[in-house]
Structure 1
Amino acid sequence: MQVCPVCFWEDLPSERFCFGSLSVEAAQKCFFEKGACEGRYRDAVRAPLSEEARSPVWLSYEDLRAGIIRWIEIHFEDVTRDGGTTLHQMDVLDDYGSPGDLAEAAKLDNERTWQEISDLKLSNFACSMVFLNANGFRFYLPAFMRFTLANWADGASTCENMGVIYALSGGPGGFHHEAFESFSRFQMEAVSAFLWYIANSNDSMAEDAESSLAYGWGKFLPDFVRLFSESFSNSL
């Protein structure tokens, strides 16, 4: 273990990018605001030496999260629902509703693009994606991934992020394998990057995301995330 004299981050190689209950992203934000990874260590740190200057291509964890969100937006940009199950229909199916109920439920989901779906709707329907068929799953997945990352807070797992993470468990050959068969390579990379971020957070869902990477999503990790992971020095 080694404590950084500039920020007081403790390097724990066996851990995810966390220090106790603190994630790198939270520590970086505190360092930018208070000069140390936690405010109580302000008097224990020093200014960086010239040889400790950051690389010109250095990225913060917040930058990485924004990059993953953008990757999702770019590579799922033109995905349409194509008659797939809607969110309200998912609830009807869960309740063994009639064909008439399904038709009425579909009228409540009139978004033409996944980018139009409100955060409130995503929050209300995020606990489970199990009743979405392949087209519906492919349509709603980027919305749920973007929503989860945009509203991420360490240690605050809720239904809003559990549902999408569970939906990706088992790897590309898991429950929604029919949907994944239609994904492009870049869309698979977006899913992998999303899971990598969650797996390296200080959150109760980290182990589930890590397992999903081990079940096959890890081989699709995009180069920009892989390089970040390999070059990250645990300095803030």
Structure 2
Amino acid sequence: MNLYPCPCCGYKTLDQKPPGTYIICPICFWEDDDELLYPLSNLVSLRHAQRNFINFGACEELWINDVRSPQVDELREPDWQTIDDLAEKARLCLMEKINNAFKDVTLEEGVSLHQARAIDYYDDPQKARQIDSHIPWQEIPDAWIERFHNVFYFMDAKGIRFAIPAYMIWCLKDMNYAVGTDSWDRLISFLKYLKRPAEYNKYFEYLTALTEVQKQVIFEFLGFMDTFTDPGY
């Protein structure tokens, strides 16, 4: 009989192919629901269940006394990985892609972060530009990214091309901190508009400054966030 790996612990305990079998794994006690459609069978997400299994041997604390050890014919495949493992590899790969795609980008005469904030606040934009127009995007301080979470709509195409990689890298460096912040939320919303220029014509100009490789990296970033951030954001 063919056995399939439990999505939570990875041990081969299911006699039907997941997801959606609603079989309860005897090793971790995860019920194999179709989490995208019916997320009510388990009290935690699959990702949190995997973390729980690593920490105390069950998908949830209430099942600690009900689980058992795996048998010889239930062992994991050598290449099985948790969602956290997959996310970490994808995160590092994506950071490298962003750095490579935007490594030669400079601000040129584009609108800088401080300049955009000055435009928003009706301050002197040229004076504000002197603060940061000379700084490479790779050296934009994290504190600026956190503070300037609403500047995208006051920037031009070259300014956006310059700032976007810094914001994406900031999000990926420490996702536990970044996800759910105003800067993360505004970035994701703005990039989703860029992905649909036909629906939002005013964003088409921003796309014209980007190469195809840069656009693809941005869309990969959105896909990564959709896949590996917890529901609710």
Structure 2-normalised TM-score? 0.70
Q: 2:110 aligns with which of 56, 81, 84?
A: 84
Deviations 1:151-173 (A, max 9, x none): 22399612021110111123241
**Is the counterpart of residue 54 in structure 1 residue 80 in structure 2?**
no
Q: Which residue number in structure 2 is paired with residue 198 of structure 1?
A: 225
The alpha-carbon distance between structure 1 residues 149 and 45, as it changes in their structure 2 partners (threshold 3 A), is farther
Percent identity, aligned pairs only, is: 28
Q: Which residue number in structure 2 is paired with residue 186 of structure 1?
A: 213
The alpha-carbon distance between structure 1 residues 188 and 35, as it changes in their structure 2 partners (threshold 3 A), is farther
Alpha-carbon distance in 2 for matches of 1:110, 1:164: 21
Asked if the contact 2:112–2:155 (Cα under 8 Å) also holds between the matched residues in 1, the reply is: yes
**Is the counterpart of residue 15 in structure 1 residue 57 in structure 2?**
no
Q: Which residue number in structure 2 is paired with residue 208 of structure 1?
A: none
Q: Which residue number in structure 2 is paired with residue 105 of structure 1?
A: 128
Letter in 2 for 1:12: D
| Aligned positions of 1:153-164 closer than 5 A | 153=176, 157-164=180-187
How many angstroms does 1:125 deviate by? 0.7
2:103 is paired with a residue whose SS is coil
How many angstroms does 1:63 deviate by? 2.3
Q: Which runs of 4+ in 1 moved over 6 A?
A: 18-21
Give the unaligned 5+ runs of structure 2.
1-21
How many angstroms does 1:88 deviate by? 0.9
Asked if the contact 2:112–2:133 (Cα under 8 Å) also holds between the matched residues in 1, the reply is: no
Q: Which residue number in structure 2 is paired with residue 229 of structure 1?
A: none
Alpha-carbon distance in 2 for matches of 1:183, 1:70: 18
Q: Which residue number in structure 1 is paired with residue 56 of structure 2?
A: 34
Asked if the contact 2:113–2:148 (Cα under 8 Å) also holds between the matched residues in 1, the reply is: yes
Q: Which residue number in structure 1 is paired with residue 190 of structure 2?
A: 167
Alpha-carbon distance in 1 for matches of 2:105, 2:23: 46
- Give aligned pairs, total: 201
**Is the counterpart of residue 124 in structure 1 residue 147 in structure 2?**
yes
Letter in 1 for 2:92: A
* Worse-superposed segment, 167-176 or 55-64: 55-64
RMSD of aligned alpha carbons: 3.1
How many angstroms does 1:79 deviate by? 1.7
Letter in 2 for 1:83: E
Q: Which residue number in structure 2 is paired with residue 211 of structure 1?
A: none
Q: 1:149 aligns with which of 139, 150, 172?
A: 172
Asked if the contact 1:172–1:180 (Cα under 8 Å) also holds between the matched residues in 2, the reply is: no
Structure 1-normalised TM-score? 0.69
Give the unaligned 5+ runs of structure 1.
206-236
Deviations 1:101-157 (A, max 9, x none): 111101221453211111111111124411111011011111111212222239961
How many angstroms does 1:57 deviate by? 7.5
**Is the counterpart of residue 177 in structure 1 residue 200 in structure 2?**
no
Alpha-carbon distance in 2 for matches of 1:143, 1:203: 25
Q: Which residue number in structure 1 is paired with residue 138 of structure 2?
A: 115
Q: Which residue number in structure 2 is paired with residue 93 of structure 1?
A: 119
How many angstroms does 1:181 deviate by? 2.5
Asked if the contact 2:116–2:154 (Cα under 8 Å) also holds between the matched residues in 1, the reply is: yes
The alpha-carbon distance between structure 1 residues 43 and 169, as it changes in their structure 2 partners (threshold 3 A), is same
Alpha-carbon distance in 2 for matches of 1:27, 1:155: 22
Letter in 2 for 1:180: L
Alpha-carbon distance in 2 for matches of 1:154, 1:204: 15
The alpha-carbon distance between structure 1 residues 37 and 169, as it changes in their structure 2 partners (threshold 3 A), is same
Letter in 2 for 1:61: A
